[in-house]
A and B are shown apart, each in its own frame.
Chain A
Amino acid sequence: MKLLSLTFLGLMILMNQAYSKNALPKSQLPHGIIKQDGRQAPALKLTSLDGDAYNLEDSKGKWVFVHFWATWCGPCRKEIPTIQAVVNKFKDTNLDIVIINTAESEDTVFNFLGLLAPDITPLMDEDGLTTELWQPRGLPATYFVDPGGKLRYLALGGRPWNKAEYLEFLNQFK
């Protein structure tokens, strides 16, 4: 009887550990980053503020940080300097950082970024239709697209990308 009780107890502990292991991935991600279901990323074909064409297909084989923002949005204004702080760290790595302005004029974006984030050259979603195609939960929004073009992670709202927790997360894609 004692042996049976001990075996039962052991089994309960093992089951509990297995359950905890399943719950672990959530806690391993930085605060506010959630897993996505791996569906195909929507199309993304835009021209940058400098006039260069970009297609998400060009980044196949690399991870892509896809970020939507607008100058009028408070959390975007807070977040963009933290992207500016990391953008050069990931140049020529396996992580492409793609910043998309939603439906604003070149002058507005140029003046804004000149002050806060001069190293960022955003893609211009002039009519806002690309943003709508991606259906972000709100602005700002950041998606992580895997090398196969699938949506893997989503950042909820603005995140301090230059903080250790987030840098560590970004570094895994390098």
Chain B
Amino acid sequence: MKQLTRLLKFTLLCLIAINVYAAKQEQLIYTDDDVYLRFVQLTPSQIGSFYEGREFNKKAVELLMASCYVTVIIDNKSDDFLWIDIARWDFIQNGKKIIQQDRKYWAKKWDEINLKQAHRSTFSWTLMPAERNLYPDEGVGGRIPIPMQTQPFSVVLNFPTGENKQGKMKSVTIDNVVCKQDEK
């Protein structure tokens, strides 16, 4: 009986370890002297649960689940201003640009389903700011919606630097980004 308990405990520990490893694998991390970047991908069900938990209605949740969200967490490790300007971030698949679903796109969608103001506001705060500077040591995180993709793609992040964007452009490319799917 004792041996069986031990075996069960060992199996449980192995399963936890595999899970932790898998969770780590799902995050893409880039870091250098100037910037720390972490990509976190959520499945449509996870996105749906997040907004459903914030009391978004069914129509809104369905719309949200149909898109893919690249969640990026950024820390400015440099001594200078680093600019977030997502219009300068390119999502590329087989040489073709994937068009971001920007705030205008979503405003139109929300108008169509008459989404209430509080939920528009919450959704907006979960997105990556369209444009703003990051002070040294400051961090920011947010989602960038794109149409759902079945193939991996690259994200080229261009960061202007300097108080008035007068510094050298910092560029980072993250390859093999995927729209994570729910397990069937």
Contacts and interface: CB of A to CB of B under 8 A. Distances in A.
Contacts of B55: 105, 108
A54 to B, nearest CB: 19
A37 interface: no
Interface stretch (A4-12, A82-90, A124-132): A124-132
Nearest to B51: A72
A98 interface: no
Interface of B: 50, 53-55, 116-122, 124-126, 129, 132, 135, 137-142
Contacts of B139: 157
B135 A104 contact: no
A128 B126 CA distance: 13
Given A72-B126, A137-B132, A128 B118 contact: yes
Interface string A95-106: 000000011110
Nearest to A126: B118
A159 to B, nearest CB: 12
Contacts of B132: 137
A128 B137 contact: no
Which of A70, A103, A132, A137 counts the most B-chain CB atoms under 10 A from its CB? A103
A32 B121 contact: no
A103 to B, nearest CB: 4
Contact of B122 (A72, A74, A129): A72
In terms of DSSP, what is the predominant structure of the interface of chain A? Answer: loop
A104 B54 contact: yes
Give the size category of A's interface with B. 20 to 34
Given A72-B50, A128-B117, A102 B122 contact: yes
Contacts of B118: 103-104, 126-128
B129 A127 contact: no
B122 A157 contact: no
A140 B114 CA distance: 27
A78 to B, nearest CB: 12
Given A156-B135, A157-B139, A102 B129 contact: no
Nearest to A156: B138
A102 B138 contact: no
Nearest to B122: A103
A7 B21 CA distance: 66
B149 to A, nearest CB: 25
A132 B120 CA distance: 11
Interface in A11-62: 31-32, 34
A34 B122 contact: no
